[in-house]
Amino acid sequence: MSRNVFAPSLSVPLACVVLALVSAGCGSSPPPPDLLVTAAPGIQTNEGGAQATFTVQLSSRPRRDVVLSVSSSDTSEATVTTASLVFTRYNWNAPQTVLITGVDDDLADGTQTVQIDLGPSTSGDARLVGLSATVSLDNVDDETAGITVSQPLGSVGEDGSTTTFTVVLHSQPTASVEVSLASSDEGEGTLDSQTLTFTAMNWNAPQTVTVSGVDDDLIDGTQTFDVSVTAITSADGDYDSLALPSAVQVDNIDDDSAGIAVVSIDDESDEEGASASFTLALRARPSADVSITLSSSREDEGVIVSSTTLTFTADDYDVPQTVTVEGQDDDLADGNQPYVITISVAASDDTDYAALADVDVALSNLDDDSAAILVSDASGHTAEDGTQATFTVRLASQPYADVTIEFDTSDAGEGQVDLTSLVFGAADWDQEQTVTITGQDDDVDDGDQPYTIAFSDVSSSDAAYDVLMPANVVVTNDDDDDTGVVVSLISGNTTEALGSATFTVVLLSEPTADVVLGFASNDPTEGETDVAELTFTSDNWDLPQTVTVTGVDDDIVDGDVAYQVVFDAIVSADLTYMGIVPDSVDVTNEDDREICSCSYAGDDFEDGMAQGFTSTGGTFAVNTTMGANGTAQSLEVTGGGNHLVGVSLSAPACEVTRFSAWVRPSAGSEAHNYIVLGDDAVSATNAILFFYAHGSTGSWRIFSSTGINTPYTVGVWSHLVVDVDWSTDTIDVSIDGVSIATDFPFRGTTIDTLTRVHLYNLTAAGVGQYDELEFETSCP
């Protein structure tokens, strides 16, 4: 049988149920076996986990065990701790407790009724099979529709700083819930999300909203604004009709304060006129116009060339205005100098700005002056003839105290200065002072000599100048001394009567070591010097030394003869003089004998042709048409058996001392080419020389008491030279430069002069050729 139990009432009186366990009274027959369920009135659980109980027992002893199942009709609302109860013969009447626990379902579904079902029972006792009962209870809901908006984690700021808060539902909705949010003052703060959507999946996940501060450029202090839920929309009626939660408050921290901002800056001016500049703006919007004045702390370093008064309004307070400062030049080497531009609020009805302290903008004026001593190069060379050069000195910047500069020449033997110190002060620091350098003469050919004007000291109380030392001035002293030997012309001619002449020798410059100059006559037979060398020292180099040349008599009439005094190379340790060879001195030695005048004539005694020529002595030549030897242009002599066919050349008034000719002997055994030297009565037996080319023997032959033969080659030109020594009556003969006779006696014994030369041939078949016939003569 089955029973619903909502209260502790049964279908039979409880007294009878209890009494039936011990007595068979209370009716005409005992009731059938049943379940006895005892439950308190209004039994309930809740979603917070609260529990409820009731008890169950049998109404009669079973013969076999009875198993009674226990279950919840809605386990999402309530659960039982045991799935079955077991009754035996021994505990059938002992109440067994059923424990029910409420279950949280996150839904705002109100109080839910749950049935706890007992049975149907199972047992080996047929009487107790199929017993069942139901106990009803309420599971009280702990969810309600609601929205929680958390307090912000902090304040926001006009500098852009942010804060956050979260929004979450109290319970799971049955449909999507859209939550709208808004800032009460978007001039102070804004939300990154203005609409949030919650579903059955995310209703309990807090959604974060970021609040950002807004800069309003106003000096308005910290401003509080609200963030509120402005609407809740959902098909879930509990949420759609839900009252709006209270707004949360957020503070926006003001970052604006009265101030003057230097927006940009170029903080360097310079003494060359370059400007520094910067731009200004107000840090916050003023409530009234702000008038600003500017001033330079050091107008000797920087002067404001833009306007010195600026005005900012509420409309242009943040528009930068430019200030330009021009650097000033002070001529001092004072380094880079700092100065400031002071910015002052001159007037404003905005009390915050009116009370604002001055603002200084630091600038620097770059110095274009440096401590330096400016020394020019020398204007040119000095010279040993006294030529001067100059250089100038001045300071590069104005000193704080006098500056004394000391200097001198490094070599007083080359150059000297007119001043050895200069003083510069604050009044004349930029005025050039001139120093004059005068070249010095040293008489030595030492070339152009470099030297310096050396600075030795700079002294000043101005530390920047006291440590300076300028570079030396380099100068060159041009040498006016030349290495050389001056040899005068000879004072006159020498004579063979021992007449003399002189010349002088002197050096051009002082030597650094002794100079020895050797010399001699190149023809001692005409003249000789009285000394062979001269010595010059550093003491006598500029004193001319005299050399005497005396003529020599040569006992011959040779006319006036030119000769020279020839110099050797100089020997000296002074390398500038070493090896110099002066030009020779030309001298003429006058002959003490009269020069004769000779006339020469030639005649061809074969055909009567004659050729005449004259000379005043010395050497003359007879040439046929100026032809060279070995050519057909020569004097040809053909002969005959009488030895009289030929050419005779005569010098009737002169004495021949040398005869030379090119001879080409003719061919043939009887072709004898004869050359006979003698006087007008010359013959083969009475001659200085009887000389011929012997065709049969192929040799030149000189006839004398002994005779000399020397081979020759037919048809080849040979050069014959005959020297006559009248003092010994002998001759020297050479052919082609080879001597064939020395001190050979005259062939004749009565020959006193050589006045004629005979050229002839023995046979008409032969032709003798002669060229370049030359005579050296002297007067007898």
Domain boundaries defined on the chain: 4-140, 147-253, 260-366, 373-478, 485-590, 598-778
Q: Give the model confidence (pLDDT) of 278-332 as tens digits.
A: 999 998 899 899 999 999 999 988 999 999 999 999 999 999 999 999 989 887 8
* Sheet with 382-383, edge to edge strand ranges: 382-383, 473-478, 449-460, 403-409, 421-424
Predicted local distance difference test score (pLDDT) of residue 707: 58
Average pLDDT, the chain: 82
Position 631 pLDDT exceeds 90 = no
Position 641 pLDDT exceeds 80 = no
Predicted local distance difference test score (pLDDT) of residue 15: 35
Of 540 and 600, which is predicted with more confidence? 540
- Give the whole-number percent of the chain exceeding pLDDT 70: 77
Of 776 and 112, which is predicted with more confidence? 112
Position 216 pLDDT exceeds 90 = no
Mean pLDDT on 733-761 = 73
Mean pLDDT on 594-613 = 40
Predicted local distance difference test score (pLDDT) of residue 102: 84
Predicted local distance difference test score (pLDDT) of residue 608: 33
Q: Do the Cβ atoms of 748 and 564 come closer than 8 Å?
A: no
Q: How many Å apart are CA 192 and CA 331, to the nearest integer? A: 64
421: its two tokens: 């110190």
Q: Give the model confidence (pLDDT) of 139-167 as tens digits.
A: 887 777 889 999 998 999 988 899 999 99
Predicted local distance difference test score (pLDDT) of residue 373: 93
Mean pLDDT on 560-582 = 95
16 band by pLDDT with thresholds 50, 70 and 90: very low
Mean pLDDT on 16-25 = 38
Position 623 pLDDT exceeds 50 = no
CATH number of 4-140: 2.60.40.2030
Q: Which of 325, 319, 358, 320 is nearest to 342 (CA)?
A: 358
Predicted local distance difference test score (pLDDT) of residue 77: 84
| The domains spanning 147-253 and 260-366 adopt the same CATH topology | yes
585: its two tokens: 């001195």
Beta-bridge partners for 362: 340
Q: What is the 3-state secondary structure (H, E, C) of 735-754?
A: ECCEEEEEEEECCCCCCCCC
What single-letter DSSP state applies at residue 354? H
Predicted local distance difference test score (pLDDT) of residue 743: 84
Range scoring the smallest mean pLDDT among 183-187, 674-678, 690-694: 690-694
Position 716 pLDDT exceeds 70 = yes
Predicted local distance difference test score (pLDDT) of residue 174: 87
Does 2.60.40.2030 match the CATH number of domain 373-478? Answer: yes
Fold classified for 147-253: Immunoglobulin-like (2.60.40)
* Sheet with 275-282, edge to edge strand ranges: 260-266, 275-282, 321-327, 302-304
734: its two tokens: 């050479």
Fold classified for 485-590: Immunoglobulin-like (2.60.40)
Residue with tokens 């102070």: 188
Identity of residue 645 = V
368: its two tokens: 């274009």
Residues 611, 614, 618, 620: what is their CA dihedral angle, to the nearest 10 degrees?
A: -30
Predicted local distance difference test score (pLDDT) of residue 628: 33
Q: Which of 541, 395, 535 is nearest to 481 (CA)?
A: 541
CATH class of 598-778: mainly beta
Predicted structure pTM score: 0.41
Looking at the structure, give the CATH architecture of the domain made up of residues 260-366.
Sandwich (2.60)
